[in-house]
């Protein structure tokens, strides 16, 4: 099968489409013929050597496609079903991928739309669970217009929370459409938030990793009320919880998101699609940032 891989760290030019052996599912897993795979900031961080040291590396932890092989004990889907899900192998940007956790694609969603879901929905659900966001609470989400931020806004609204989201002014109308009250990020953030909620917020979630943890701690009344999914060093410095998957993933969210999508209560936009062969350009766009929604790779 064709797959994305790099054998040295560096810029987008180190990414290659190579031939690798076809993977096969183990017990409880399914293999899909990949139609679309999600692209995440962690991909270019890995490519630059900022996360994992081993070489060579494949990429991709989320994909959508058609089941073409079942692992032992799998009875909840059949060959030919459309599914999306998460791959622990980190090789989902390929023609074939083995999914460890999966769910049927909601009828109204296409493959690119389904590929936006796994990482964003799981990360947002995990962080909101850690914060204890529930009905009647007020939560501030820093970086609310990206894929994880958009997911967190909508899932917090579903829980009955009041949501304030930071974003550039160009994305404020988008945040309002999701049910959030937008504020601009940057200098003066504390004052802008307090203009909406004079006593501060109950909880704060940092998705952007933009160095505002001290302000979030101040607004939320202490570091115990703040979680970041993007600023590991800042979390250590300010005593804030850093949410990471190895502490327990919220993979139950994959099976639960479909009914919200079909009810019109959840959506994630596909910001841009790229053929698998244009993986280098996709990385350039991802690394440049300021993407509303998700970048998705298309596999023929």
pLDDT in tens, 34-80: 999 999 988 999 999 988 889 999 999 999 999 999 999 999 999 99
Q: Are strands 57-58 and 30-39 parallel, antiparallel or unpaired?
A: unpaired
What pLDDT score does 23 carry?
A: 98
| Average pLDDT value for residue range 205-232 | 95
* Phi, then psi, of 293 in degrees rounded to 5: 100, -150
Burial of 196 (0-12, 13-18, 19+ CB in 10 A): middle
pLDDT band at 229 (very low <50, low <70, confident <90, very high): very high
What pLDDT score does 246 carry?
A: 60
Q: Which CATH architecture has domain 2-116+269-298?
A: Alpha-Beta Complex (3.90)
| Average pLDDT value for residue range 216-243 | 96
What pLDDT score does 248 carry?
A: 67
**In CATH, which of 3.90.180.10, 2.40.30.10, 3.40.50.1820, 3.90.1150.10 is domain 121-247?**
3.90.180.10
Cβ partners under 8 Å of residue 227, min gap 6 = 127, 130, 131, 203, 204, 205, 206, 240, 241, 242, 243
- Give the Cα-Cα-Cα angle 59, 61, 63 (nearest 5 degrees): 105
CA-based end-to-end distance of the chain: 12
Q: Are 286 and 60 in contact (CB under 8 A)?
A: no
How far from the centroid of its chain's Cα atoms is residue 11's Cα? 22
Give the residue with greater pLDDT, 146 vs 225: 225
> Quick check: do 2-116+269-298 and 121-247 share a fold?
yes
| Res 245 pLDDT > 90 | no
Q: Are 214 and 234 in contact (CB under 8 A)?
A: no
Report how far residue 250's alpha carbon sits from residue 127's, in angstroms, rounded to the nearest whole number.
Answer: 9
pLDDT in tens, 4-20: 999 999 999 999 999 99
What pLDDT score does 94 carry?
A: 98
Neighbours of 79 (CB within 10 A): 11
Report how far residue 283's alpha carbon sits from residue 228's, in angstroms, rounded to the nearest whole number.
Answer: 23
18-29 as b/e, with b when 16 or more CB fall inside 10 Å? eebeebebeeeb
| Average pLDDT value for residue range 200-217 | 96
Neighbours of 42 (CB within 10 A): 16
| Res 247 pLDDT > 60 | no
Report how far residue 12's alpha carbon sits from residue 7's, in angstroms, rounded to the nearest whole number.
Answer: 12
| Res 292 pLDDT > 90 | no
Predicted structure pTM score: 0.93
Poorest-confidence range of 92-106, 183-197, 240-254? 240-254
Based on its alpha-carbon atoms, the radius of gyration of the chain, rounded to whole angstroms, reads 19
- Domains of the chain, by residue range, sit at 2-116+269-298, 121-247
pLDDT in tens, 118-143: 999 999 999 999 999 999 999 999 99
| Res 299 pLDDT > 70 | yes
- Give the Cα-Cα-Cα angle 164, 167, 172 (nearest 5 degrees): 80
Report how far residue 44's alpha carbon sits from residue 48's, in angstroms, rounded to the nearest whole number.
Answer: 6
């Amino acid at each position: 099968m064709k797959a994305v891989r790099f054998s040295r760290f560096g810029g987008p030019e180190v990414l290659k489409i190579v031939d690798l052996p076809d993977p096969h599912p183990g017990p409880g897993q399914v293999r899909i013929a990949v139609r679309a795979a999600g692209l995440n900031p962690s991909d270019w961080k890995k490519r630059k050597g900022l996360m994992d040291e081993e070489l060579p590396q494949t990429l991709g932890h989320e994909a959508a496609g058609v089941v073409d092989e079942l692992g032992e004990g799998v009875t909840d889907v059949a060959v030919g079903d459309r599914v999306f899900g998460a791959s622990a192998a980190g090789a989902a940007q390929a023609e074939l991928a083995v999914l460890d956790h999966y769910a049927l694609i909601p009828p109204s969603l296409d493959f690119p739309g389904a590929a936006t879901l796994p990482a964003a929905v799981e990360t947002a659900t995990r962080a909101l669970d850690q914060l204890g966001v529930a009905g009647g609470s007020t939560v501030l989400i820093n970086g609310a217009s990206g894929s994880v931020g958009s997911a967190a806004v909508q899932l917090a609204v579903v829980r009955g929370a009041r949501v304030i989201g930071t974003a550039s002014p160009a994305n404020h109308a988008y945040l309002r459409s999701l049910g959030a009250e937008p504020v601009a990020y940057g200098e003066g953030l504390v004052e802008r938030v307090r203009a909406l909620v004079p006593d501060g917020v109950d909880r704060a979630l940092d998705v952007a990793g933009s160095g505002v943890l001290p302000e979030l701690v101040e607004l939320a009344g202490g570091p115990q009320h703040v979680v970041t999914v993007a600023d590991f060093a800042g979390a250590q410095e300010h005593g804030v919880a850093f949410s990471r998957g190895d502490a327990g993933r919220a993979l139950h969210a994959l099976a639960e998101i479909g009914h919200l999508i079909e009810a019109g209560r959840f959506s994630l936009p596909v910001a841009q699609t790229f053929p698998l062969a244009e993986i280098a350009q996709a990385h350039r766009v991802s690394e440049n940032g300021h993407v509303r929604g998700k970048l998705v790779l298309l596999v023929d």
